[in-house]
Amino acid sequence: MSETSRRYYPVSWEQLHRDAKALAWRLAESGPFKGIVAITRGGLVPAHIIARELDIRVIDTICISSYDEETQGDASVLKSVGGDGTGWLIIDDLVDTGKTGRIVREMLPKAHFATVYAKPAGRPVVDTFVTEVSQDTWILFPWDTEPQYAKPIAKARAGETVVP
Ligand SMILES: O=P(O)(O)OC[C@H]1O[C@H](OP(=O)(O)OP(=O)(O)O)[C@H](O)[C@@H]1O
Ligand SMILES: O=c1[nH]c(=O)c2nc[nH]c2[nH]1
Ligand SMILES: [Mg+2]
C-alpha cells in the first residue's frame, strides 16, 4: 500500500517478538528446514527470532528493496541465492501487494514462504502467516518509530495546536 494508507497499525518490539514466536509455532509443524533465507531488511528481525525458536543456525539473505517510505517503486534485487529452495524457509516481515513475495517465489519455487503479517493482496503468495491487516493499513514497525508526545483527545478533536 502507498499514499492511500488510511490507518496505521503500530507494532511494538514486544508484539513483534510475540507474533514472530507464534509464526515459529506454526512453522514447527512444516519443518525441519535446512536453513532460513531472510528477505532484507524487514525479514531480518523475524528471521532471527524464528531461527532461535526452531534451532536453525544457517541463514542466508535475498536483498530486495521496493519502497521509499510508504511509496512503492520498481523492486530492485540487490542480492539473490542459488538453488530451487528445496527444504528452505523464506522469512519476510510482511506481504503487502505481494510483489516482493512473487519475486522470491520465482527464485526459490520449492521453498516454504512465511511472513509475520499479510495484507489481502499478498496473502495468496505466502504459505504461512500470523496476522492479517486490511489493505489500506500501514504497519508501523518498531525500527521505524519512536515514542513522542501525543495530544490529549479533547485538544486533538478541537484541532488545537499543542506545543509539547
Ligand atoms: O508485498 P510488497 O508490496 O512487495 O511489500 C512487502 C515488502 O516491502 C517491504 O520491504 P521494502 O521494499 O520496504 O524494503 P526493506 O525490507 O528494506 O524495508 C517489506 O519488508 C516487504 O519485503
Ligand atoms: O513498514 C512497512 N509497513 C507496511 O505496511 C508495508 N507495506 C509494504 N512495505 C511496508 N513497510
Ligand atoms: Mg522488505
Q: What CA–CA distance (Å, rounded) separates 163 from 144?
A: 23
Which CATH number fits the domain 7-158, given the four candidates 1.10.3470.10, 3.40.50.2020, 1.10.3720.10, 3.40.50.300? 3.40.50.2020
Partnered with residue 118 across adjacent β-strands are 95, 132
C-alpha span between 148 and 87 (Å, rounded)? 44
Residues labelled as active-site residues? 92-93, 96
Name the residue with higher pLDDT: 74 or 39. Answer: 39
pLDDT per residue as tens digits for the range 110-127:
999 999 999 999 999 999
Which residues make up each annotated binding site for 5-phospho-alpha-D-ribose 1-diphosphate? 41-42, 92-100
Q: How far is the CA of 91 from the centre of ligand 3 (A)?
A: 10
Q: How do the domains of the chain map onto residue ranges?
A: 7-158
Sheet hosting strand 131-132, strand order edge to edge: 71-79, 59-68, 35-40, 88-95, 112-118, 131-132
The pLDDT, as a whole number, for residue 28 is 97
ipTM exceeding the 0.95 mark: yes
Which residues on adjacent β-strands are paired with residue 95?
A: 118
Which residue has the least CA distance to atom 3 on ligand 2? Answer: 139
